[in-house]
Amino acid sequence: MKTELDSAGDYSQQIARTIREAIISGDLPVDGRLPSEGDLAARFNVSRPTVREALKRLAAQNLIRTQRGATGGAFVNRLSFTDAQEHMVTTATLLLSMNAVDFETAAEARFALERACLPLACQRRTPSHLATMRAEIARQGTDGLTDEDFCASDVAFHRALVEAAGNPVLSWHMAGAVEAMQPLMNMITFTARSRAQIITLHTELSEAIAAGALTQAQTTLDALAAYTLELGGEIRARRQAKRAR
């Protein structure tokens, strides 16, 4: 690991980059312990606070975890899909909010990705996935459900669909796409009529997947996408009204 620092500013950034590269390259193995902050400070010839700032940068990316105590220190994290998903969701949320992405664009991406999962889901769905999907559909039909609960169940349904594809990398991507859209979805007011329509489509979709009927699953998903976009139309109107203010 290089310990020379370019004198041109921001030591903590350079140190963070150096360590990050060592981790990515596998030079520092997973669950391996980094030298103590004092040691690192001595190696890089900087002060401990500077080293700490570098370590916090890495911690923010879930690359390391720290532990206090005698046998403590900074350890290389095995980046779990769960952690990565969390990260993906916050990034996706920020992208959507700060770049003012249209509802249409986000929904289009989300359904395109989901469509990509269908062939695999039709092949690999297990009874467990189907049970989850059916349970969520049942939940969506219960009375007195708030719009937010309805959306949450919707997310759970689609998450089960994606999981059915049995590819963790796909699931990871989808988690970001679906969950980041939830704030936008929550802005939709679901009438009893639209809920019934969505539930019908969900049922068709899950049964098509259960039967392994890819073509029908695709058709149904397309219908669901179209209907969601229709419902989302009002969000666009609201946003424009908001901007006009």
Partner DNA sequence: ATCCTGCGATATGTCTTACAATTAAGAATT
Partner DNA sequence: AATTCTTAATTGTAAGACATATCGCAGGAT
Judged by the rule CB under 8 A, the positions of this chain that interact with a second copy are: 12, 16, 20, 23-24, 26, 30, 49, 52-54, 56-61, 63, 78-81, 84, 87-88, 90-91, 93-99, 101, 105-106, 108-110, 112-113, 115-117, 119-120, 165, 167-170, 172-173, 176-177
C-alpha 167/C-alpha 188 separation (Å) is: 31
- Give, for 192, the enclosing helix (H) or strand (E): helix 192-211
Sign, CA torsion 151/157/158/159: positive
Residue 83 interacts with DNA (CB under 7 A)?
no
Residue 185 binds what, of DNA, a second copy, none (CB under 5 to 8 Å, by partner type)?
none
With respect to a second copy, which residue has the nearer C-beta, 38 or 49? 49
Residue 144 binds what, of DNA, a second copy, none (CB under 5 to 8 Å, by partner type)?
none
C-alpha 220/C-alpha 164 separation (Å) is: 17
With respect to a second copy, which residue has the nearer C-beta, 117 or 201? 117
C-alpha 136/C-alpha 43 separation (Å) is: 55
Q: Write the binding mask 26 to 65 for DNA: x where contact by CB under 7 A, - elsewhere.
A: --------x-xxx------xxxxxx-xx-x----------
Q: Is 230 exposed, middle or buried (0-12, 13-18, 19+ CB in 10 A)?
A: exposed
Find, among 61, 59, 71, 62, the residue nearest to 33 by Cα.
71
Site for DNA, rule CB under 7 A: 9-12, 34, 36-38, 45-50, 52-53, 55, 66-74
